[in-house]
Amino acid sequence: MNAHDTAIDLAAYFERIGFSGPARPAPTLDTLRTLHLLHPQAIPFENLDVLIGNPVRLDLASVQRKLVENRRGGYCYEHNLLFRSVLQTLGFRVRSFAGRVLWGRDAPEMPARTHMLLLADLDEGTFLTDVGFGGMTLSAPLALETGLEQITPHGAFRLDDAGGEPHAYVLQALVNGAWTRVYRFDLDPQYDADYAMSNHFVSTYPQSIFLHNLLAARLAPGKRIGLFNRSLSTHDEREGTGHRELDSVADLRRALENELGIRLPDNAGLDAALARLP
């Protein structure tokens, strides 16, 4: 694949996510729902490149090579830039935006816009489309409507009016019976240059969570699998939530490869980075 390629390889992408439909499906809500479910079950969320000091490249050729050809994962910019290209190639009208991550955050200060998300405009309306939010990644598009509980294959979500500014929303997830904030976004358009800036920030800023911690996640039918440093969590809609601590580098490698489905990079610094995890 040439470094300057700007075309998506649909056949390779469909093989990667296990899509067995037509070679070029119609840009319908059913197609969007199908791809949105398959993508995060096949392509994991992970930050291994940041952890071992490799640059995260956002040009389409690099993203395809990493996530599709090399069967790696990535974080929000990589996932949603890849998904955006697929949708646009199929004829969807897709717009790009940025979110402020609220998940796991108690501080009152407003965080920076460090998350990428998409909106797809269809005959049925506008839908939030986001395949790259780690352990709480959506497995279905959400109608851009506030106050509506929306059931996905991996839990219930809703969008609330953020207040304080027009067209600002807060995505919430129903977790253990309580609505929990995931991220806030508005409809200020974002461009690839904006993502290049925020990608540089999250991959190099000394206080970025990605710089010193291992984060990996994948969806499976009826399950969410997440790894934060040495703690592996599996939430099964029938069996509940289980946790397991991974004490050794060998345990971490096995979990990354088997539970998370990541083809690990051939990098001499990987084991050392895993050994340093708290």
Token pair of 266, please?
Answer: 């051939």
Check 79, 130, 154, 235 and give the catalytic one: 130
Q: Which residues contact 227 (CB under 8 A, 6 or more apart)?
A: 214, 215, 216, 217, 233, 246, 255, 256, 259, 260
With tokens 């402020």, the residue in question is 100
Catalytic residue among 76, 79, 154, 235: 76
Q: Could you give the angle at the alpha carbon of 44 between the alpha carbons of 43 and 45, nearest 5°?
A: 130
Which residues are CB-contacts of 160 (< 8 A; sequence separation ≥ 6)?
Answer: 146, 147, 169, 170, 172
Tokens read off for 60: 């389409």
Length of the chain: 278
User: Is 154 among the residues known to form the active site?
Assistant: no
Task: Please tell me which residue in 36, 39, 115, 154 is annotated as part of the active site.
Answer: 115
Q: Is 161 a catalytic residue?
A: no
In the residue annotation, 212 being an active-site residue is answered as no
Q: Where are the alpha helices (DSSP H) in 133-185?
A: none
Residues with catalytic annotation? 76, 115, 130
